């Protein structure tokens, strides 16, 4: 798809200057949460900064071109490809998922592609997935190979959790199905379209979707570890096919900030479809809180600054990319926590605060 050169006019709000000491401090505390490394990149007209902490593999410092697993940040790439197909007239967001896959339970007949992309589908929880509740069990299944059909077959018969389109619940299965719809339309694996439509045109040389049998991260990369009964185990080598199209990509901080820049500037989508990525559905989350996921992107505000982007997790990895809507401040980060629990938020909150914190000398 040819790049689109015109972007919407977005009001520019002055941002506080970057504070290098605060940025470095945000990633340097590798005890809260326990992590082996961290890196943070800030780009944009409002300031640039890059810093690291810890070691990439137990021996050397993290380098700017080191790859890492980005988890659910993958969803932004998939949503972009899906919206490009909409722009080309090959896909409708109102199309029923069962139009493409009649073997999806009939009770989900009302679910549309658009509802998959903004997590308002109400699809019931999968049944039959392996127990991954402990690090030991994760290791037992780290090389399991899944096909998309096997994952789709985990959707049980039965009524949706809520009427599609009336609530929002963030679920990976939504993006598995969205990815399969894209692949049904194009007749090829999503990796080809991500490469030809996004990574190659934007020269994102460190970003790719691994093959279904691929377990090692290509080239130089940051290693991820899990604490297993008090022992630190390298889990960089992992088959991520169970997260097809919803959490299996690999990238770098430079590539993620470059991708965000191009996406937000309108180089990948026409404006009407780009706007959908910044439009929250008029529903609440299942817990009653306001919706926070649009088509591909999520949003939050901190220190009075609204940002859009996506977080992601994988075993031994945590990553994210965010930007102000006007692109003045773009960030990408990665750190390698050894425990997969809520303590990871300590690092992400420090980063979010550091990149938006008002200067001490400002009123």
Q: State the CATH number of the domain containing residue 85.
A: 3.40.710.10
Report if residue 347 sits inside a domain. yes
Residue 69 buriedness (CB in 10 A; 0-12 / 13-18 / 19+):
buried
Mean per-residue pLDDT, 335-340: 97
Q: For 162-216, how does the pLDDT look when each residue is reduced to its tens digit (9 = 90+)?
A: 999 999 999 999 999 999 999 999 999 999 999 999 999 999 999 999 999 999 9
> Looking at the predicted structure, is the pLDDT value of residue 359 above 70?
yes
Mean per-residue pLDDT, 29-47: 97
Give the CA radius of gyration of the chain: 20
> Looking at the predicted structure, is the pLDDT value of residue 360 above 70?
no
pLDDT at 12: 58
Are 250 and 320 in contact, with CB atoms under 8 Å apart? no
Report if residue 56 sits inside a domain. yes
Report if residue 1 sits inside a domain. no
Report if residue 10 sits inside a domain. no
> Looking at the predicted structure, is the pLDDT value of residue 362 above 60?
no
Report if residue 168 sits inside a domain. yes
Are 185 and 85 in contact, with CB atoms under 8 Å apart? yes
Number of residues written out for the chain: 363
Number of domains comprising the chain: 1
- Which residues are CB-neighbours of 233 under 8 A, at least 6 positions away? 135, 139, 225, 226, 227
Report if residue 4 sits inside a domain. no
Are 49 and 237 in contact, with CB atoms under 8 Å apart? no
DSSP-based three-state secondary structure for 68:
strand
Q: Per the confidence metrics, is the pTM higher than 0.75?
A: yes
Model confidence at 25, pLDDT cuts 50, 70, 90, reads very high
**Which pair of tokens denotes residue 333?**
């980060």
The partner residues of 335 in beta bridges, in order of sequence, read 38, 318
Mean pLDDT of the chain: 95
* Containing structural domain, residue 82: 20-356
DSSP string, 13-53: ---PPP-HHHHHHHHH-TBTTBEEEEEEEEESTT--EEEEE
**Which pair of tokens denotes residue 87?**
């722009």
Model confidence at 14, pLDDT cuts 50, 70, 90, reads confident
pLDDT at 148: 97
Q: For 230-241, how does the pLDDT look when each residue is reduced to its tens digit (9 = 90+)?
A: 999 999 999 999
- Enumerate helices (H) and strands (E) in the chain, giving the number of each: 11, 12
Q: For 45-82, how does the pLDDT look when each residue is reduced to its tens digit (9 = 90+)?
A: 999 999 999 999 999 999 999 999 999 999 999 999 99
pLDDT at 361: 46
Are 353 and 58 in contact, with CB atoms under 8 Å apart? no
Model confidence at 2, pLDDT cuts 50, 70, 90, reads very low
Report if residue 363 sits inside a domain. no
Mean per-residue pLDDT, 292-306: 97
Q: Which has the higher per-residue pLDDT, 199 or 12? A: 199
Report if residue 7 sits inside a domain. no
């Amino acid at each position: 798809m040819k790049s689109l050169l015109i972007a919407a006019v977005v009001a520019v709000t002055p941002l506080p200057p970057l504070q290098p000491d605060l940025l470095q401090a945000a990633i340097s505390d590798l005890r809260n949460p326990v992590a082996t490394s961290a890196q943070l990149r800030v780009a944009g007209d409002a300031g640039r900064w890059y810093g690291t902490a810890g070691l990439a593999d137990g021996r050397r410092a993290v380098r700017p071109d080191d790859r890492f697993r980005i988890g659910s940040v993958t969803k932004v790439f998939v949503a972009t490809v899906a919206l490009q197909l909409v722009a080309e007239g090959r896909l409708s967001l109102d199309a029923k998922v069962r139009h493409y896959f009649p073997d999806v339970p009939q009770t989900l007949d009302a679910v549309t592609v658009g509802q998959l992309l903004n997590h308002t589908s109400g699809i019931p929880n999968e049944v039959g997935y392996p127990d991954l509740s402990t690090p030991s069990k994760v290791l037992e299944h780290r090389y399991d190979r899944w096909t998309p059909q096997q994952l789709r077959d985990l959707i049980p018969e039965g009524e949706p959790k809520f009427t599609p389109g009336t609530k929002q619940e963030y679920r990976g299965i939504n993006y598995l199905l969205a990815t399969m719809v894209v692949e049904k339309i194009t007749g090829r694996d999503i990796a080809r379209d991500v490469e030809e439509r996004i990574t190659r045109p934007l020269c994102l040389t460190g970003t790719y979707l691994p093959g279904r049998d691929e377990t090692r991260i290509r080239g130089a990369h940051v290693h991820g570890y899990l604490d297993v009964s008090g022992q630190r185990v390298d889990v960089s080598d992992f088959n991520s096919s169970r997260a097809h199209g919803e959490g299996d990509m690999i990238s770098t901080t430079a590539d993620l900030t470059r991708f965000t820049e191009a996406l937000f500037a309108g180089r990948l989508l026409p404006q009407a479809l780009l706007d959908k990525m910044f439009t929250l559905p008029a529903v609440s989350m299942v817990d009653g809180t306001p919706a926070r996921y649009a088509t591909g992107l999520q949003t939050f505000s901190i220190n009075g600054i609204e940002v859009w982007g996506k977080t992601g997790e994988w075993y031994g990895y945590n990553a994210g990319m965010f930007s102000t809507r006007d692109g003045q401040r773009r960030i990408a980060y990665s750190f390698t926590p050894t425990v997969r629990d809520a303590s990871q938020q300590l690092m992400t909150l420090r980063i979010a605060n550091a990149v938006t914190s008002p200067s001490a000398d400002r009123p």
